[in-house]
Amino acid sequence: MLLTSKKPSPSFALFWRPFRIYWGGTLPARIGEWADFIVLNWAVLQLSRSPLDLGVLNVCRLLPIFLFSWLGGVLADRLPRRQVLAASLLGMAGSTLAIAWLLHEPSSLIWLFAAVFVRSVFMAIETAVRNAYIADLVPGAALSSAISLHTAALHIGKMFGPAAAGWWLASMDGAPLLVVYSALLIAAALAVSSLEDGRPRRPAVRPAEGDKGEAIRYIRDTPLIRALLALSLIPMTFGFAYSAVTPLLVDAFAKGDAGDFALLLSVSSAGALLGTAWLSFRPVEAVGKWLIVSLLAFSLSLLLWIVSFEHQLLCLAAMALAGLTGQLYRTLCRLAVQLTVPDQLRGRIMSIALMDRGFIPLGTLLLTAIAEYAGAKTAGYAMGWLCLLCVLAFWRRKELWNISTGGRTWND
């Protein structure tokens, strides 16, 4: 039963017991997820010394999100979401144990890449189902709070997970940390399994044959939506691939170790968490203006980060600013789409907009290829300048500047 016997605040998600159990059970797994990211990236770099191999690893990690998220959405609509979510978490746990074994007994990187790809299939399904299941855990009045807390959990994980991995790798092998992450995934699956299925849902209705075509036609006939979708391509392809360039710069120029890599990602996530909090509590009316300005600030932050890489404090400040402005840009871009599309097309258009994450593996592969043949710093400059050129290309689009809201806000 969704409601408890007491009368909690209808607008704060943590007052609702099902969401508390879900959030408390999965938060440690979010921290483990980013610790795992540090371990894998650093291990591959140390094993092969090849930036291109690092790019392949991140393609295997991110490409299934683009390819299999649709499958997760179908399963979420046709099967009990709680059961699918728990099963996907267990699948992630099993494949993480396989990855830990492959790191403990080093063999061909092909097997490691294959195991990461398989786990990412489970992760793609888990992500899609998780985002649908949140709405089953709270009443409508608390949904905005639940989404904000969910976003905050992702950034808490990205802030503390890398720090934990950096501390661990300073004195121990990374494989045992992956075993810990697997145990956290099992605990998350048990927490989800302890819940009920939430509000009854109407049986899934098979969409009309022309649904996808209607959404495509709307995008084709609406210049503003085309501009918003196009505006996200370059930043998502190159700008948000900076996590893949970070270990290369740490290794090549700062003469650092996994702890320095982890520190940079933690600082970036702290900035992103600040951006999420700012948008959660401060209504944004001039969405278009803030969207363009935040992308400009994100591009300049990336360039400042590359220029200042050998100056620790300035480098950390630039990374925090990149996390803050990048999160503002991503959230405002989603909000701009929400404000523009009609309600009857919102789900389909948003599903297309969210596919922009699938371009991150392409950017990762291209940037690491540049790093392989021209050096890591050249790849970093390419990342920042391409984002800046994207801003300049859309600077005069008045329809973007004019997007506004009466104070409502969503979180990415």
| Model pLDDT for residues 128-185, shown as the tens digit of each residue | 778 777 777 877 666 656 766 777 787 788 778 877 887 777 777 778 888 999 999 9
CA distance 145 to 153: 12
The CA angle 33-35-37, to the nearest 5 degrees, is 70
Residue 189: both structure tokens together: 């699956």
**DSSP letters along 135-177, please?**
HHHS-GGGHHHHHHHHHHHHHHHHHHHHHHHHHHHTTS-SHHH
Tell me how far CA of residue 59 lies from CA of 11, 53, 110, 293, 395, in angstroms. 39, 10, 13, 30, 31
The position carrying tokens 């075993």 is 179
Residues in the chain predicted with pLDDT less than 50, given as ranges, are 1-6, 8, 200-211, 347, 406-412
Please name the residues in contact with 359: beta carbons below 8 A apart, sequence gap of 6 or more. Answer: 66, 233, 236, 237
Local structure of residue 209 (DSSP, 8 states): T
Q: How far is CA 180 from CA 23, 35, 268, in A?
A: 19, 10, 24
The single-letter DSSP state of residue 6 is: S
Going by C-beta distance under 8 Å and a sequence separation of 6 or more, which residues neighbour residue 128? 69, 70, 71, 72, 73, 75, 76
Tell me 204's DSSP state.
P
Cβ within 8 Å of residue 283, ≥6 positions away: 405, 407, 408, 409
pLDDT score, position 59: 81
On the CB side of 49, CA atoms within 13 Å amount to 1
Helix (H, G, I), strand (E, B) or coil at 81: helix
Rounded Cα–Cα distance for residues 290 and 288 (Å): 6
CA distance 266 to 38: 11
Select from 389, 278, 381 the least CA-distant residue to 329. Answer: 278
φ/ψ of 174, rounded to 5, equals -80, -25
List C-alpha distances in Å: 250 to 165, 204, 300.
16, 49, 20
User: CB-hemisphere CA count at 13 Å for 391?
Assistant: 20
Sequence-distant (6+) residues with CB within 8 A of 286 are: 404
Q: CA–CA separation, 289 vs 401, rounded Å? A: 5
Residue 147: predicted pLDDT: 67
pLDDT of residue 297: 93
- For residue 239, which amino acid is it? G
- Which helix (H) or strand (E) covers residue 17, if one does? helix 17-48
> Cα dihedral angle (294, 241, 383, 351), rounded to 10 degrees?
-60
- Compute the distance between CA of residue 49 and CA of residue 230 in angstroms, rounded to an integer: 35
Q: Which of 92, 74, 69, 85 is nearest to 197 (CA)?
A: 85
Q: How far apart are CA 401 and CA 394, in angstroms?
A: 10
- In this prediction, residue 205 carries a pLDDT of 44
What the block records as the tokens of 322 is 């990149």
Token pair, residue 49, equals: 């010394």
Give the pLDDT score at 279. Answer: 65
